[in-house]
Amino acid sequence: MADLGSQYRRIRAEVEPLLHEVLESGRYVLGKHVAALEEEIAALCHAQHAVGVNSGTDALKLTLRAIDIRPGDEVITTPFTFVSTAEVVVLLGAKPVFVDIDPYTYNIDPDQVERAITPRTRAILPVDLYGQSAEMRVLREIADRYGLWLIEDAAQAIGARHHDQPIGAFAHAATLSFFPTKNIGGAGDGGMVITNDSEIARRVRSLRVHGMNGGYYYEDIGYTSRLDEIQAAILRVKLRYLHEWTERRRYHAALYRTLLAETDLQLPTVAPHNYHVYHQFTIRHPQRDLLREYLCERGIESAVYYPLPLHLQPAYQFLGYERGAFPHAERAAQEVLSIPIHSELTEDQIAFVSEVIQAFAHAEVAIR
């Protein structure tokens, strides 16, 4: 599903001198490379501020703290996502209110978002799943109409566009993850908050260093959530390749679409106003588990993102949702399968994956 070793070997000559420079400098946390990366990410996203933190999860947590999400508040989000989206809401004492997804894009359904708003709702937290923006323009209209915050979980979508605008353009703030397997990832954890709101940026900068307000004076109860210099140096090199790697992913997606067009798979649906960066190429089949086993037997990795929606996870049973509450999310969890899409793939590898899937599809039809 990823070939980080090959990626590193390609950029080694650029990365290693920077690593030695950082080690020689003695400045390992929040140094010049973090500051430069923040400026470069802000420019990429046409944002006024970018604040580096130590993970995508912390980017979410600190952003919600910055907008004063408190115990008793409600945050509307999707059950079909990585756990951190809801986890940070619960850790702040607030309640995640789930709504179902669009069955084609897998992103949150704006119509259901509006119906879920109550007097306790403080924010909407959509996810740009698999590298495609949620319906952010519509969601911002809803947020403005009800006086709510709109926070975009863009952990999987760096470089994506929505109505020709970059991630974060329609949100009060957006969050990124630099986990190693993301479209640009570090050699460890890292994250970032992007925003045009100066107060959100100021509070996140304070919260990431224990709520500090200069020297050893503290305006808030904060966290240790600093982005380190080594990660920032690596990410700055990788950021130079983001456009190339994204176009490579999009090319691979186009190849898959051509090679798998005659199968009964549901291929990724891209909204016409979106530029998809294909963090994942996620297909769908009612015999997903058999297909995954078939691929594995032939040496092809695949992954299920995600096998059980959050409302059915044991950790979230206290929210009181029953099976059947969100049928599109529940069915997607039974049928989705992500296949290799990363930029280091060769055309022969994509052809091989496609041939194996075609063989399965034909065998499955014969069995039926």
Domain identity same for 144 and 188: yes
Domain identity same for 97 and 153: yes
Supply the DSSP symbol for 314: G
Domain identity same for 232 and 222: yes
With tokens 């004076």, the residue in question is 217
**Are residues 307 and 333 in contact, defined by beta-carbon separation less than 8 angstroms?**
yes
Domain identity same for 52 and 151: yes
Q: Say yes or no to pLDDT of 366 above 80.
A: no
| CATH number for the domain that contains residue 36 | 3.40.640.10
Q: What is the pLDDT of residues 88-130, one digit of tens each?
A: 999 999 999 999 999 999 999 999 999 999 999 999 999 999 9
pTM assigned to the model: 0.96
**What are the C-alpha distances in Å from 367 to residues 148, 360, 361, 363, 364?**
52, 10, 10, 6, 5
- Domain count for the chain, please give it: 2
Give residue 195's domain range.
4-240
Of 225, 240, 255, the last residue of a domain is 240
Q: Say yes or no to pLDDT of 364 above 70.
A: no
Domain identity same for 127 and 184: yes
C-alpha to C-alpha distance for 78 and 145, rounded to whole angstroms: 20
Q: What is the pLDDT of residues 63-98, one digit of tens each?
A: 999 999 999 999 999 999 999 999 999 999 999 999
Nearest to 338 by CA among 302, 290, 301: 302
**What are the C-alpha distances in Å from 30 to residues 34, 66, 194, 201?**
5, 20, 17, 15
Among 105-114, 209-218, 358-367, top mean pLDDT goes to 105-114
C-alpha 336: how far from its chain's center?
A: 17
**What are the C-alpha distances in Å from 118 to residues 2, 10, 79?**
42, 51, 18
C-alpha to C-alpha distance for 368 and 364, rounded to whole angstroms: 6
User: What pLDDT is recorded for position 313?
Assistant: 98
What integer best gives the mean pLDDT of the chain? 96
Of 240, 257, 276, the last residue of a domain is 240
